[in-house]
Structure 1
């Protein structure tokens, strides 16, 4: 992983074999990030996607392997959690997407982290069973 810190943002490049979420945790700890929003693109060969069922208030996860283009990676970083969603394109131009709990870079992965001021801490929302921003 290489990165540059510019004023209110981090420009990040992940390399083959880098774990996306682990790399973001490393950046959060290094820069003591309490408020950051993520946007990225790249390529991965493994991703764990999750889907939340509001009715049952349960997550299901599935790991996918193959060669995927990351057409969208969006999320946020707070002091207590990193929350990201990912959209993957297959070699047949179909897409997979969901909550990203893990992904391994196969080619490159480029992420822009925009830093803010309001800490993005979470609290449990009893209606949905989700951890939501405590703002």
Structure 2
């Protein structure tokens, strides 16, 4: 299992109509954050949430497009075996009636503001590989620890 330490914490505010997923990836690239724990909260104008169906190995998605609160969003920033960044996020949202839905965050658009916190994971490589038996990307077992 990957073992690392917390490095820098990068905080960014996303503005109306920005794409949450692509903006998190661009901020990570701009700030040279390779691996991170991702947290976010704020408001959304659109979100697509997914539920992974283990039987079919596919995501069932639902799009919501109304003023929504991003109650919680947490996930990881890793890389695949080619070095491409892989963002895996789960989100909980609520509507104006305080009904709550959650799932895998497929896409999202900022409503008024989204605050993002990237807590850098240092001292290890978080690499994900595709697991045929699960139909999902999983963490590769071997890691590289930096010398202290």
The alignment's TM-score, normalised by the length of structure 2, stands at 0.81
What 5-or-longer segments of structure 1 have no aligned partner? 1-6
What 5-or-longer segments of structure 2 have no aligned partner? 1-6, 80-84, 142-148
- Aligned counterpart, 1:91: 96
* Bigger radius of gyration: 2
- Whether contact under 8 Å (1:68, 1:90) holds in the other structure is yes
Mapping of residues 1-135 of structure 1, within 5 Å: 8-79=8-79, 80-117=85-122, 118-135=124-141
Deviates most, 24-33 or 14-23: 24-33
Residues 33-88 of structure 1, C-alpha deviation per residue, up to 9 Å, x if partnerless? Answer: 22100111100010011110112211122221001011101011113300001110
- Whether contact under 8 Å (1:87, 1:96) holds in the other structure is yes
Distance 2:93 2:105 in 1: 11
Coordinate RMSD, CA, aligned: 1.3
- Aligned counterpart, 2:82: none
Residues 92-128 of structure 1, C-alpha deviation per residue, up to 9 Å, x if partnerless? Answer: 1111111112111111111111001222221122331
Aligned pairs, how many? 129
